[in-house]
Structure 1
Amino acid sequence: MARITAGIGCSHIPVLGFAHDTGKEQDEYFKPAFDGFNWTRKWMKEEAKPDVIILVYNDHASAFDMSIIPTFAIGTAEKFEPADEGFGPRPVPTVEGHPDLAWHVAQSLILDEFDMTMIGDMDVDHGLTVPLTMMYGDVEKWPVKVIPLAVNVVTYPPPSGNRCWALGEAIARAVNSFPDDLNVQIWGTGGLSHQLQGPRAGLINKEWDNAFLDKLIGDTQELRNVPHIEYLRETGSEGIEMVMWLIMRGALGKSTKALHRHYHIPMSNTALGHIVLEPEDSSVPPSPTLEGNNDAAQAMID
């Protein structure tokens, strides 16, 4: 069966894409940021070798705008083109999807009472392509299939940390019930602390960020109960993006260990965070929806 073998957290700062695309990775300003991904690039190529990545990110008004704002949306297409964010599409490969697994996950999540929006045609912006660049570098073709999972953290109200963690648990149940033998990773992107506007523009909270990274490791579930107001107060208006990391963490099960960790400030007046996690105990709670007298729903997934 398919299994989730690792989780990755990564900031998706757009200037990192610019630095890569314009050959500035080794410039004095950018080099410390990129050097923190050298371990991961080697590990991805030589050891991890995932078949599919479920990549959790937020759209930045490229695929969605105020006319439609899904809380959770999953891409079910064969391919996703890089979005034009005002300066033309990034010169990176087309993202290839995995429709069979994507539809299976969508069905499982909906039967598990998560109201997913299925997207059959959308372009993907820096929220998705920058993490791929940071993990794979300059490639002619992405060496992995990608299922985009977009989360609304742009317009109020965003989902709670607890809801995101529970979604991760449901994703793990969905992947574990897929019959094909697939090595699946799940990535949570965005964050860490940053604010892009107003009197607190440029806010960075190093202590809070590193405490957040600490609590992704081991068996604590403390982060699922952090309220929106704490993210806003401690990490800035865009720090709420960190709830997307909790989807990744929830999918890894009861306990995790850290394989690699990187934190660098400042990067375009934001905090850059990166962590690679491996499940130590990948068990997740059974679905309260699919157990008991809901055998018909489970049969549909099987």
Structure 2
Amino acid sequence: MARITASVYTSHIPAVGVAMDLGKTQEPYWQPVFEGYEYSKEWLKENKPDVVFLVYNDHGTAFSLEMIPTFALGTGAEYPPADEGWGPRPVPMVHGHPELSAHIAQSVIQDDFDLTLINEMPVDHGLTVPLSVMCGQPEAWPFKVIPFHVNVVQYPVPSGKRCFELGQAIRRAVESFDEDLNVQIWGTGGMSHQLQGARAGLINREWDNAFLDRLIADPADLSNMPHIDYVREAGSEGVELVMWLIARGAMADVNGGAAPTVKHRFYHVPASNTAVGHLILENNI
């Protein structure tokens, strides 16, 4: 059967992708950010999955205020990089895994989670920046990717508890797929940041690191945190962190298995007025 072997968590800051695309990664401002992913790139080479189930949010490219699905599962064969106003990023086409996507859709919907199924869509920095920081700048991404969009832009957004339970349903779906696949699940977005208003530029180091502690040690309790706490402590865009709970909910320990191994943890501020958080957890199964 397929199995989830690890989860990866990372911010998906658009300026990080721009810095890579323009060759600025070794500039003094950016070098500390990219240094935090050097271990991760080597780890990924040694632990290359067949498929990455990548949880992210669209930023007004595939979806607009005319239609915003709460949860949207990519079921297509390929996804082009989106034009976010300055042309598509110079990154490879994202190739999906339609068979596993279709199986996850069947399983998760029958598990009482309503999903929007998307056969064609462009993918923006929310998905391509995590791929870039983990893989570098290859000619082709080294694995298949299943995009999974979560609405964290237009209220109402899903609760942390709903996201955590969805992660558990995704694990059940993956493990019931009758093919030997190594699957990783990635949660992206955050950490603390606010892009507008009186608190624009907010970063909360203490809260961010406490969130990482709780995500590792007690994700079930963390999933009960109300939206207002995210907004108050981590800024208006900090609520993106509920997407990390989907990835965490898919890990073995919250489903009766052993605690995961923390392979890497990284935190840095600032990066374009945003806190960069990153974590790699390996399942012990």
TM-score per shorter chain, which class?
Answer: over 0.9
Q: Is the 8 A contact 2:262 2:282 kept in 1?
A: yes
Distance across 2 between alignment mates of 1:257 and 1:69: 36
2:43 aligned counterpart, secondary structure: helix
Provide the residue aligned with 1:14 in structure 2: 14
1:57-206 correspondence runs (5 A):
57-206=56-205
> In 1, Cα distance between the equivalents of 2:43 and 2:231?
34
Q: Provide the C-alpha distance between the structure 2 equivalents of 1:17 and 1:99, rounded to a whole number of angstroms.
A: 27
Q: 1:220 deviation in Å?
A: 4.7
Taking every aligned residue pair, what percent have the same amino acid on both sides?
62
**Structure 2 residue 277 is matched with structure 1 residue 273:** yes
- Judge conservation of contact 2:219–2:248 (CA < 8 Å) in 1: no
With the length of structure 1 as denominator, give the TM-score of the two structures: 0.91
Q: Describe the superposition over 1:95-131 as per-residue Cα deviations: whole angstroms up to 9, x where unpaired.
A: 0000000010011010000000000000000000000
* Partner Cα separation in structure 1 for residue 242 and residue 191 of structure 2: 10
Distance 1:59 1:220, change over 3 A: closer
1:217–1:257 Cα contact (<8 Å) kept: no
Q: CA deviation at 1:217?
A: 1.4
Alpha-carbon distance in 2 for matches of 1:110, 1:221: 22
Indicate if the aligned counterparts of 1:59 and 1:152 stay in contact, CA closer than 8 A: yes
Would you say the 8 A contact 1:5–1:278 is kept in 2?
A: yes
Which residue number in structure 2 is paired with residue 297 of structure 1?
Answer: none
- Residue in structure 2 matched with residue 241 of structure 1 by the alignment: 240
CA distance in 2, matches of 1:267, 1:49: 27
Contact 1:77–1:98 under 8 Å retained in 2: yes
Query: Normalising to structure 2: TM-score of the pair?
Result: 0.97
1:38 is aligned to 2:44:
no
* In structure 1, distance between residues paired with 2:184 and 2:269: 27
Tell me how far apart the structure 2 counterparts of residues 218 and 195 of structure 1 sit (CA, whole Å): 27
CA distance in 1, matches of 2:67, 2:102: 21
| Structure 1 CA distance for aligned equivalents of residues 199 and 223 of structure 2 | 26
Conserved 8 A contact 2:95-2:145: yes
1:219 to partner: Cα distance: 4.8
Instruction: List alignment gaps of at least 5 residues for structure 1.
Output: 283-302
Local SS of the residue matching 1:26: coil
What secondary structure does 1:221 align onto?
Answer: helix
Which amino acid is 2:118 matched to? Answer: I
- Mapped to 1, the partners of 2:224 and 2:261 lie a distance apart of 21
Distance (whole Å) between structure 2 residues aligned to residue 37 and residue 61 of structure 1:
27
Aligned to 2:55: 56
Within the alignment, does 1:227 sit opposite 2:226 as a pair? Answer: yes
Secondary structure in 1 matching 2:154? coil
**Mapped partners of 1:67, 1:216: distance in 2:** 34
- Secondary structure of 1:274's aligned partner: strand
For 1:7, what is the secondary structure of its paired residue?
strand
Letter in 2 for 1:178: F
Structure 1 distance, partners of 2:66, 2:245, is: 27
Answer yes or no: is the 8 Å Cα contact 1:80–1:96 preserved in 2: yes
1:272 maps to a residue whose letter is: V
> Secondary structure in 1 aligned to 2:86?
coil
**Residues 212-221 or 187-196, more deviating:** 212-221
Gapped regions of structure 2 (runs ≥ 5): none
The separation in 2 between residues aligned to 1:156 and 1:138, in whole angstroms, is: 35
Q: How big is the shift at 1:218?
A: 3.3
Q: Which residue of 1 aligns with 2:27?
A: 27
Code of the residue aligned with 2:269 in structure 1: it is I
Matched, 1:262 2:266: yes
Contact persistence 1:9–1:276 (CA under 8 A)? yes
- Do the aligned residues in 2 keep the contact of 1:218 with 1:257 (CA within 8 Å)? no
- Alpha-carbon distance between aligned partners in 1 of 2:210 and 2:221, rounded to the nearest angstrom: 11
Aligned partner of 1:296 in structure 2 is none
Displacement of 1:216 in angstroms is 1.7
Classify the secondary structure of the residue corresponding to 1:273. strand
Cα deviations by residue, 1:215-254 (Å, 9 ceiling, x for unpaired)? 1213552211000000010000000000000000000132
Amino acid at match of 1:171: I
What is the DSSP-based 3-state SS (H/G/I as helix, E as strand, rest coil) of the residue aligned with 2:277?
strand
